Copies of this chain bind each other. A is one copy, B any other.
Amino acid sequence: MLTLEQSQRALAAAEAHAVAIGVPVNIAIVDAGVHLTAFARMDGAVLGAIDVALGKARTAALFRIPSESVWDYCKPAAPAPTLELSNGGLMAFPGGLPLTAADGTFLGAVGVSGGAPSQDREIAKAATQTL
């Protein structure tokens, strides 16, 4: 069960990393039931990335995999084309990562958007390392 304290710690770690690399992003945290627990939009992050951050967190929590792994299922010639249209639209690129407790329990997911996908991913990674 993901607490607000854990969610805010994960969010703060992501924000600190984003500041360190100079990329303003949106950061969303959802619990194991895919419900929002915490969110922050850093000053200067584009508005379009709010929904993307929420979508990446949702995508990673719904399937319990990094958001970009969904693309392996739905990309051209992969076995599940159109999967990305499910669940109101998935975000199948880097920036969403599952959050897992030290004992391996699935806790939820973090979604980051605002930088380049690879930057979003490393910012999300910082969040995962706090639990």
Q: What residues make up the interface of A, taking CB atoms closer than 8 Å to B?
A: 3-5, 7-8, 31-43, 46-52, 55, 59, 61-64, 70-71, 74-76, 79-94, 116-118
Contacts and interface: CB of A to CB of B under 8 A. Distances in A.
Contacts of A116: 79
Given A41-B37, A43-B3, A75 B71 contact: no
How many of these chains are in the complex? 4
A37 B40 contact: yes
Given A39-B38, A41-B35, A93 B81 contact: yes
B94 A79 contact: yes
8 contacts: A35-B41, A46-B63, A48-B59, A48-B87, A49-B63, A71-B82, A74-B82, A83-B93
Given A79-B118, A85-B90, A86-B89, 4 more contacts: A31-B33, A34-B47, A48-B86, A49-B63
A63 to B, nearest CB: 4
Given A33-B32, A35-B33, A85 B75 contact: no
